[in-house]
Amino acid sequence: MANIRIRYGNIHIDYMVDGERKRKSTGLPNTKANRELVERSVIPKLVGMIATGEIHRNKPKNFGYYFNEFLKTKNINRSFNSKLPHWKKLNETFKDINIDKITRFNIKRYLLDMPIKNNSKGVYKSALQEIFEIAIDDEVIVNNPAVNIRLKSDHKQKIDFFTKEEVNILLENAEDVMLAYLMIAFNTGLRPEEILGLQWGDISDTHINIKRVRTRGRIDHPKTRNSIRSVPYPAFIMDSIKSIYSGSIFIFGDIDDSTGLRCPWRSLLKKTGLGKRKLYNTRHTFATIMLQDRIVSINELAGLLGHSTPKITLSHYASVIEAKTIDLGINFDLFGTFSSRQKNQGLSNIVK
């Protein structure tokens, strides 16, 4: 399988790999001692490498190469555009390192050092896993160092919502576009990008149909399949909505991102003395009040909010459901114990 050949005074080795003859120089001069060394050490090692396939394994490329291959597998859509900046940050860190030199420790250290919540690191973890899978397919690594890396769950922050009194203060002081936006947001729980994506034809006599979103100047599909939905709205909000008609097919005209509402929102908060609050809190307010006032169930709320499962809704809003607000009635009897004892007592009295 492997033999010594002398060429130009140096020792070469002839060997066969997958039916092809190869010749490689050892760099050693042709001496008896060197020939014995090659016979005793170099050739046996070479034969072993041929047997394991290591001798003709693809040469590992750097992370950046497999990152570009990873991008080629992705469809350019709303999800792609929102994730791409995060993926590029990932590539900036690892792009020049050979893929086979990146260890599980390196990946875990990178994720732990990121100054964001652990729950927000999923976009990085999933990308890493896919990139290393491509390297496995290219047969340059055997194991995926990015799988089964678990990070601690983040401490659940308390949901920040407006009280009914605060909502009324905001609505009494809001004007024009800001008033129309808040009327929809507080009474439907729609996401900012869903509200800004509304066209006049999306509103029927009783429901608003969510068909698209607008964010960062782009029109796209809603976040999930369940986000395409129809939600009821109270008739009294229509006057505020109609008052901002500008001739555009979109209700909010040229405002194609929530940043376009930043200035009027901050001005309104300052005017009402309610401090710094996120515009997204209008959605939290809708969900919280609906649950606390027991207007809808968790399942029904999930449908209104466009969540993919009620589990997501519960994970967000379980903390706002107070046990003291749940009225089970004075005769609550889950297992029928009281009814059974009462029945038996009645029979005993009859026998007596």
> Would you say residue 153 lies in a domain?
no
Q: What percent of the chain has pLDDT over 70?
A: 87
Looking at the fold, whether 112 and 214 belong to one and the same domain comes out as no
* Assigned domain for 349 exists: no
Residue-wise pLDDT for 281-312, tens only, equals: 999 999 999 998 989 999 999 999 999 898 88
Q: Are residues 36 and 89 in the same domain?
A: no
Q: Which residue has the tokens 């979109």?
A: 250
CB 299 within 8 A of CB 270: no
Is the pLDDT at 170 greater than 80, yes or no? yes
345 lies in some domain? no
Same domain? 49 vs 114? no
3-state secondary structure the chain: CEEEEEECCEEEEEEEECCEEEEEEEEEECCHHHHHHHHHHHHHHHHHHHHHCHHHCCCCCEHHHHHHHHHHCCCCCHHHHHHHHHHHHHHHHHCCCEHHHCCHHHHHHHHHHCCCCHHHHHHHHHHHHHHHHHHHHCCCCCCCCCCCCCCCCCCCCCCCCCCHHHHHHHHHHCCHHHHHHHHHHHHHCCCHHHHHCCEHHHECCCEEEECCEEECCEEECCCCHHHCEEEECCHHHHHHHHCCCCCCCECCCCCCCHHHHHHHHHHHHHHHCCCCCCCCHHHHHHHHHHHHCCCCCHHHHHHHHCCCCHHHHHHHHHHHCCHHHCCCCCCCCCCCHHHHHHHHHHHHHHHC
Same domain for 230 and 81: no
- Residue 157 — pLDDT band, cuts 50, 70, 90? confident
Question: Do 308 and 174 share a structural domain?
Answer: yes
In a domain, 264, yes or no: yes
In this structure, the answer to whether residues 206 and 320 fall within a common structural domain is yes
Q: List C-alpha distances in Å: 97 to 71, 87, 137, 156, 337.
A: 18, 16, 18, 36, 68
Q: Are residues 252 and 128 in the same domain?
A: no
Condensed to tens digits (0 to 9), the pLDDT of residues 62-104 reads 999 999 999 999 887 667 888 999 999 999 999 999 999 999 9
Same domain, yes or no: 215 and 273: yes
Distance CA 68, CA 94 (A): 12
Same domain, 235 and 92: no
* Structural domains of the chain, count: 3
Tell me the one-letter amino acid at 195: I
In-domain check, residue 123: yes
CA distance 352 to 346: 10
- Determine the pLDDT at residue 344: 57
Residue 67 within a domain: yes
Cα gap 319→24, rounded to integer Å? 70
Residue 271's domain is classified under what CATH number? Answer: 1.10.443.10
Q: What is the pLDDT of residue 187?
A: 97
Residue 230 located in a structural domain: yes
287 and 239 part of one domain: yes
Residue 337, in any domain of the structure: no
- The residue range of the domain holding 113 is 63-137
Q: Are residues 171 and 288 in the same domain?
A: yes
